[in-house]
Chain A
């Protein structure tokens, strides 16, 4: 594998997303939504405004868990199928570059665009939190931002896999939306449904581990456990096995969600 062609492709992807204002637009969306949620997150409990870093993060988790997978899937679904449809894929493949370099270059370029947009947007919120609460809780906030970014990279990896498999852009966009529905909306409900319908007989002790099968749940568990107040608030410590409260285990699971779909995409993309 050579880096030069890989980096050339990554730079082109990033430049493309900067040029069409994608990065700016997504950064603004993150900043605006996050600020609104941070201020209004406690409205159900009868208060508005920033209460504590931990509760602000808890509010942001429920925003980010919808927003980031959607944005990452929309960013990546046409990475390969789009080039295929406009005829430029043959041209790219005819260059002195391997298919693996091309795909990794695309992934890294899109990942850089996603990271730049998310970090810019969430940094603005970070500044607000810092002015309000000082530096003490920023450590938690940084952990939240990092985990959100990793979740974004996992869904981007899924999107790139879709873009390799799909026959055309329309199908790819359909598959991307379907993945979002499945992981963000359906998965938890289905788990809960099975649990309730069988009176807890099916799954049993293994049940919490099923959460590892969804990168959005991995993200949720990571954040809920890093926040002592919140986890005791929800009584989660009694519910979830200790292995899942280890950030390294959950971080490893998220890394798996980044590497495996991308690996499958590379495998599927070979000639």
Chain B
């Protein structure tokens, strides 16, 4: 039993979870296994069900179907305090209390979480708010408020972090620092589930992604797996000496695959199936040094996401 409990630390398990409001299916039949120490991204349009899914995981919303377990325990019922002490949560667009200082705000959360209030300054330091600790939240910028919200989630060293749009309002430098913090937490075995609109931000950083649309999971896997499943075309940008462009076009027409070739400034832009990349480059070999530069762009998460959300994938 003890071994099992230790095994389940930092895991999130959803089995057939649904939340229906009458005929509206906010979340429908979601199965999910998030592993300990995993950085897990949740993407989807507004209204796709991301926030409801977070609230289900926290036990704020009672599922109409299915079962949820965090750290191997049910999120509601008698054991809810123990489970919640292991969860740090940052809701989307949270506004904290204007009249309290950052430090007072954190101490308030520490008292409820039953965490020593002495640790609050260190957590403020971690999110870069030490200098503003005693200033009222009224005077905080949007980014500082968001960082204070993140600090509150970090209190008590939770094993699971649930972060709903955590980088909203942060400037690029703060976003960088934020992900650095997440990376070091993950290294300590903390499990992170986060959602974001800014997919480019997620794709380099998460281990796996779930795409949510109309309350259902449309796809789940690492960014690479999703790319391979979808087989979206890669884009090859060729910079070619102006006298060799025609020759390059002839060479490409000999490649036995479906290519989309477009003339761009100082060269060509080709979209081709992922597996044809090398055949394409081989065909261009005779150009020699007239081929000045080659750049291959993988499909972005945005490309994946928007084709999924349009219902392209099943």
Measured CB to CB, the residues of A under 8 A from B are: 2, 4-5, 7-9, 11-12, 15-16, 19-20, 86-88, 90-91, 93-97, 271
Contact = CB atoms under 8 A, between A and B. Distances in A.
A86 B111 contact: no
A5 B91 CA distance: 20
A4 B91 CA distance: 24
A20 B84 contact: no
Contacts of A97: 112
Contact of A88 (B85, B97, B99, B113): B97
B114 A19 contact: no
Nearest to B60: A93
A95 B112 contact: yes
7 contacts: A4-B114, A11-B111, A15-B104, A19-B99, A86-B94, A87-B93, A96-B114
Contact of A15 (B85, B90, B100, B152): B100
Nearest to B95: A86
Interface of B: 55, 58, 60-62, 80-82, 84-85, 87, 89-100, 104, 108-109, 111-114, 136, 149, 152
Contact of B100 (A8, A16, A86, A90): A16
Contact of A87 (B94, B108, B111, B136): B94
A131 B18 CA distance: 70
A91 B136 CA distance: 19
B108 A94 contact: no
A51 to B, nearest CB: 43
A223 to B, nearest CB: 35
Nearest to A102: B112
Q: Which of A2, A8, A94, A271 has the most CB of B within 10 A?
A: A94
A115 B112 CA distance: 24
Given A4-B111, A95-B109, A96-B84, A90 B60 contact: yes
Given A90-B60, A95-B109, A95-B113, A12 B94 contact: no
Contacts of B99: 15-16, 19-20
Nearest to A5: B112
A87 B97 CA distance: 11
Contacts of B109: 95
A6 to B, nearest CB: 9
Nearest to A85: B95
Contacts of A96: 80-82, 84-85, 112-114
B100 A91 contact: no
A16 B97 contact: yes
B62 A91 contact: no
A91 B111 contact: no
Given A5-B112, A97-B112, A12 B100 contact: yes
A131 B64 CA distance: 67
Nearest to A17: B99
B58 A94 contact: yes
Given A94-B89, A95-B84, A87 B113 contact: no
Given A8-B108, A15-B100, A16-B99, A91 B89 contact: yes
Contacts of A16: 97, 99-100
A271 B99 CA distance: 29
